[in-house]
Amino acid sequence: MGRDAHGKRALYSGVRPPGPPGPRGTSLAVTCSRCGRTSTIGLRRALWVLMPSVHLPLPLGHPSLLRCPACGRPSWVRLTLRSHP
Ligand SMILES: [Zn+2]
């Protein structure tokens, strides 16, 4: 029993990297081509915003059509994922 617990503790302290677990520090930046503003939103709100959305296979410009969080209208936007460690 005692040996088992010690082994587990050693494994966790050795392998786990420091920092908060999960995707908590990730947000989505939405740059709107209509109003020109960039909105940074959390992942939960991003899911809501992205619900009806269209994405074109273009690497440049504003390839995604969705409801802009800043002006609230369907707009062509550029999406950028940001993570805050
Ligand atoms: Zn907008």
CA of 19 to the centre of ligand 1 (A): 34
**Number of domains, the chain:** 1
CA of 43 to the centre of ligand 1 (A): 18
* CA 7/CA 2 separation, integer angstroms: 9
Does residue 13 form part of some domain?
A: no
**DSSP letters of 25-82?**
TEEEEEEETTT--EEEEEHHHHHHHTSS-EE-S-SSS--EEEE-TTT-SEEEEEEEEE
Does residue 79 form part of some domain?
A: yes
What is the residue range of 51's domain? 24-83
Helix (H) or strand (E) holding 69: none
CA of 27 to the centre of ligand 1 (A): 18
Q: Check residue 7 and give its pLDDT.
A: 61
**Per-residue confidence of the chain (85 residues) as pLDDT tens digits?**
656 666 666 555 555 555 555 556 789 999 999 999 999 999 888 888 888 788 888 778 899 999 999 999 999 999 998 887 7
CA of 26 to the centre of ligand 1 (A): 21
CA of 39 to the centre of ligand 1 (A): 9
Does residue 61 form part of some domain?
A: yes
Does residue 65 form part of some domain?
A: yes
Does residue 68 form part of some domain?
A: yes
Does residue 6 form part of some domain?
A: no
Q: Check residue 10 and give its pLDDT.
A: 56
